[in-house]
Amino acid sequence: MSLVDRARSATTLAGGLGTILDSGLPAPAPAGHTLVPAGHPGQPLAHPLAGWEGLALVRAERVSCPEAVRLLAAVRIGLTERMLRAAVEHLTGRVADGRPLVDHPVLRGELADLTATLALCWQGLGTGTSTAALHATLDRAGWATSVLFGASGYLRDHPVRCLYLAELVHDTWSDHVGLA
Amino acid sequence: MSDWREIGRALRAGALALDAAPHDTEAIAADEALRAVAELDPIMLSGKDSAAALIELARGDAGMVLAAPGPALAGRVLAQLGDDEQRERLRAAVAGGRTWAYLAITEPDVGSDATRLRTELRRDTDGRYRLYGTKRYIGNGHRGTVGVVLARTGPSPLALRAVLLDTARARTRPLDMLGLRGAQISELEFDGVPVEERDLLGAHLSPLRRGMWSIAQVFTAVRVQVAALAVGTAFAIHDLVADHHPSSPTLDDAHANIRAAEALVLRAAAEADHDRESAAPAASLAKLTATGVALDVARTLPRLLGPAALVTHPLLEKWCRDVRAFEFMEGTSQIQRLHAAQGIVRGSVWHAT
Ligand SMILES: Cc1cc2nc3c(=O)[nH]c(=O)nc-3n(C[C@H](O)[C@H](O)[C@H](O)COP(=O)(O)OP(=O)(O)OC[C@H]3O[C@@H](n4cnc5c(N)ncnc54)[C@H](O)[C@@H]3O)c2cc1C
């Protein structure tokens, strides 16, 4: 399995980041601190949420690594696909207006749109879509997926929180240049 | 207005501490800015004035606003459905910031479709009403000692009544949220809690107006208030980024969009003050747009501050979590779309003029 395939098939955010960093790439830290799997070398700094997903904020040498940021998109695609499958199960078990939520045409359309978006992102990883554009799309798709769980997905202990933490990892890994 | 802005600024000082420890009720009770928010009495103010005040307060911090003791959403229900004695009971219970009031509608298995609520108001063999069921995701449900609970009185989807509980207590537990943690959503369990005749809201109204019809009017009013919180949070994000970044087209566009959403919210609030029934689609459109604009602002503006902006500016990171809560409160965006579309099809939605 290629590295990008392995990144996509990670079942946890920390596992996905571990796959990237174990390949020998440095943890990107353009601002001098970065979110990494707990236990990764570096002086730990306080972060209110990192521990929720087995991550830690560490001080690190200022370094950029576009390839790691690209692979992070693969991790995010895989995690969002996983959460989307869980959302289908969730919507199958809830009823509104006399039928399961999963049978409401609006929600079916949403599931199809999200699946198409993720498929396009995955192809885009191979065809050179800019990493910034991929992550911007994944920010939106991740939140749209979380919303499918209703308020239950907004609870701290819900697995879909990994998609928000992935946004935070991207915030520390990416250079965010050219956006003003 | 500037008073509310001042209070909003003062609220910000306690925002991160509250996010870290939303269960610390002593700290909340000691916060002077929070006590000032408690004076925002939805029974006394028009919807438009409340919305304008909430925008300014949330520009300080929406989590703090929702942690403030006071009548909150229950006050809106009482304004619609309560008689004078019931309104006075709520006012007395929360006077001087003594406690929090909750409004309990959502249940573990029932959210968007309120006509399927399972919590039951049953008349037992002794002739007394008792409340059975579980409510979940209820803002201030654990801290609050007074509140309004929506319950079923019969099998028909519309057989719902709201009851005011100010002495009877449910078993409660707080739920840990991703964001807007100041609201401290909670679970409430009612296992035969006694309810007196005088606790039933709407007895002075015609049977048709006691239940779901009135609740729908309350939803319209409250949706606009949630939209106001979203607009205020968007302003807060904009203000913080603008403090650290020179003027740019992205910032200016965001500001213009937030102001446009603010205008829609205030307009919907004024419509709801004038005629709540016909304002429902406008309220839904206001909430839909305000939530969308706030999310967009949270997604784009922090990037202007460069790498790791959400680590360097913890308040910004907190607000990026907080804005997501507005998606769910008083109906998700899908539900707002359904309401708005109904108005469009009926021709009752105003168009841009
Ligand atoms: C911060 C916060 C504070 C809250 N405060 C309160 C409170 O004080 N009191 C209270 O009673 N509740 C409160 N809630 C709960 C809130 O009202 C519900 O979360 C909301 O009504 C949605 O219900 P649900 O979470 O069960 O989602 P569900 O209804 O299960 O929805 C799941 C998904 O299906 C979609 N969906 C549902 N029905 C349809 C449909 N007909 N067509 C298309 N899509 C549909 C939704 O958009 C969502 O994406 C709060 C929630 C939060 C997050």
Greatest mean pLDDT range, B42-46, B57-61, B126-130, B216-220: B57-61
Confidence of residue A177 (pLDDT cuts 50, 70, 90): low
Q: Give the per-residue pLDDT at B208.
A: 78
Instruction: Indicate the pairing of strand A95-96 with strand B101-104.
Output: unpaired
Q: What percentage of chain B reaches a pLDDT higher than 70?
A: 97
Dist CA B336 CA B330 (whole Å): 9
d(CA A54, CA B334) in angstroms, rounded, equals 33
Greater confidence, B315 or B39?
A: B315
CA A48 remoteness from chain centre: 18
Within a 10 A sphere around the Cβ of B85, how many other Cβ atoms? 10
End-to-end CA distance of chain B: 27
Q: Is the pLDDT of residue B306 over 90?
A: yes
Rounded to the nearest integer, the mean pLDDT of chain A is: 96
| Mutation choice for ligand 1 from B65, B66, B106, CB with most ligand atoms inside 8 A | B106
Tell me the residue type at A22.
D
The more confident residue out of B35 and B59 is B59
Instruction: Report the phi/psi class of residue A11: left, alpha or beta, with left for phi > 0 and alpha for psi in -120 to 50.
Output: alpha
Least CB-CB distance to A97: which of B20, B113, B137?
Answer: B113
Q: How high is the mean pLDDT of chain B?
A: 92
Domains within chain A, CATH numbers bracketed: 3-173 (1.20.140.10)
* Confidence at residue B2, expressed as pLDDT on a 0 to 100 scale: 61
Listed by start position, the domains of chain B span 79-199
DSSP structure string for B301-313: GGGGG-TTHHHH-
Q: What is residue B57's predicted lDDT score, i.e. its pLDDT?
A: 96
**Cα gap A71→A19, rounded to integer Å:** 9
Alpha-carbon gap, residue B314 to B130, rounded angstroms: 46
Alpha helices in chain A (DSSP H): 3-8, 13-22, 66-92, 105-127, 131-147, 161-173
CA gap B57, B66 in Å, rounded: 10
Q: What distance in Å separates the CA atoms of residue A175 and residue B212, rounded to the nearest whole number? A: 52
Mean pLDDT, residues B256-271 taken together: 97
Residue B1 reports pLDDT greater than 70: no
Q: Higher model confidence: residue B212 or residue B71?
A: B71
How crowded is the C-beta side of A77, counted as CA atoms within 13 Å?
A: 26
What token pair was written down for B98? 């003594």
Alpha-carbon radius of gyration of chain A: 17
CB contact under 8 A, A154 and B299: no
Question: Is the predicted pLDDT of residue B323 greater than 60, yes or no?
Answer: yes
> Considering the entire predicted model, what is its pTM?
0.96
- Distances from the Cα of A162 to the Cα of A139, B202, B244, B302, B350, angstroms: 12, 45, 29, 20, 41
* B168 pLDDT more than 70: no
Task: Find the Cα–Cα–Cα–Cα dihedral B88, B91, B94, B100, rounded to 10°.
Answer: 100
φ/ψ of residue B199, rounded to 5: -85, -15
β-bridge partners, B171: B189
Query: Considering only residues 115 to 154 of chain A, which have any Cβ-Cβ distance to chain B shorter than 8 Å?
Result: 136, 139-140, 143, 146-147, 150-151, 154
Locate tokens 């798709």: which residue?
A: A141
The average pLDDT across B300-320 equals: 96
Looking at residue B351, what is its pLDDT? 60
pLDDT of residue B34: 87
Percent helix, strand and coil across chain B, each to the nearest 5: 55, 15, 30
Residues paired with residue A44 on neighbouring β-strands, in sequence order: A58
Taking CA atoms, B310 is separated from A55, B303, B320, in Å, by 16, 9, 9
Tell me what pLDDT residue A180 has. Answer: 43
Beta strands in chain B (DSSP E): 101-104, 120-123, 129-139, 146-152, 160-165, 171-174, 185-195
pLDDT for A136 beyond 60? yes
| CA atoms of B55 and B235, how far apart (whole Å) | 8
Residue B144 clears pLDDT 70, i.e. is over it = yes
Shortest CA distance to B336 belongs to which of B30, B106, B115, B112? B112
Between helix B212-244 and helix B314-325 the angle, nearest 10°, is 160
Compute the distance between CA of residue B206 and CA of residue B208 in angstroms, rounded to an integer: 5
- A-interface mutation test, from B247, B311, B319, most A Cβ less than 10 A away: B311
A30 reaches B (C-beta below 8 A): yes
Of B300, B307, B328, the CB nearest to A151: B328
Closest residue by Cα to residue B305 from A63, A167, A47, A174 = A174
CA–CA dist B76, B71 (Å, integer) = 8
In the predicted structure, residue B9 carries a pLDDT above the cut 50? yes
**Phi, psi (5° rounding) for residue B179?**
-145, -175
Instruction: Give the Cβ contact number of residue A108 at 10 Å.
Output: 14
Q: pLDDT digit string (tens) for A5-33?
A: 999 999 999 999 999 999 999 999 999 99
| CATH ID of B79-199, from 3.40.190.80, 2.40.110.10, 1.20.1740.10, 3.20.20.70 | 2.40.110.10
Burial B307-335 (b: 16+ CB within 10 A, else e): bbbbbbbbbbbbbbbbbbbbbbbbbbbbb
pLDDT of residue B353: 39
pLDDT band at B29 (very low <50, low <70, confident <90, very high): confident
| Cβ–Cβ under 8 Å, residues B250 and A176 | no
Look at B246 and A170; give whichever has higher pLDDT: A170
For chain B, the residues whose C-beta falls within 8 A of a C-beta of chain A are 19-20, 106, 109, 111-113, 116, 136-137, 175-179, 185, 245, 248, 250, 295, 299-300, 302-304, 306-312, 314, 317, 321, 324-325, 327-328, 332-334, 337-338
Q: Are the C-beta atoms of residues A35 and A50 closer than 8 Å to each other?
A: yes
Determine the residue type at B287.
K
Q: SS3 for B153?
A: coil
What is the C-alpha separation between B84 and B12, in angstroms, rounded? Answer: 36
Q: What is the mean pLDDT of residues B281-285?
A: 95
Average of pLDDT values for B219-237? 96
Mean pLDDT of A54-76: 97
The Å distance, Cα B331 to ligand 1 centre, comes to 5
- Is the pLDDT higher at B353 or at A107? A107
Atom of ligand 1 nearest to the CA of B73: 8
3 state DSSP class of B147: strand
Provide the pLDDT confidence category of residue B42 given band limits of 50, 70 and 90. low
A80 close contact with B: CB closer than 8 A? no
Contact A171 B332 (CB under 8 A): no
Helix (H, G, I), strand (E, B) or coil at B9: helix
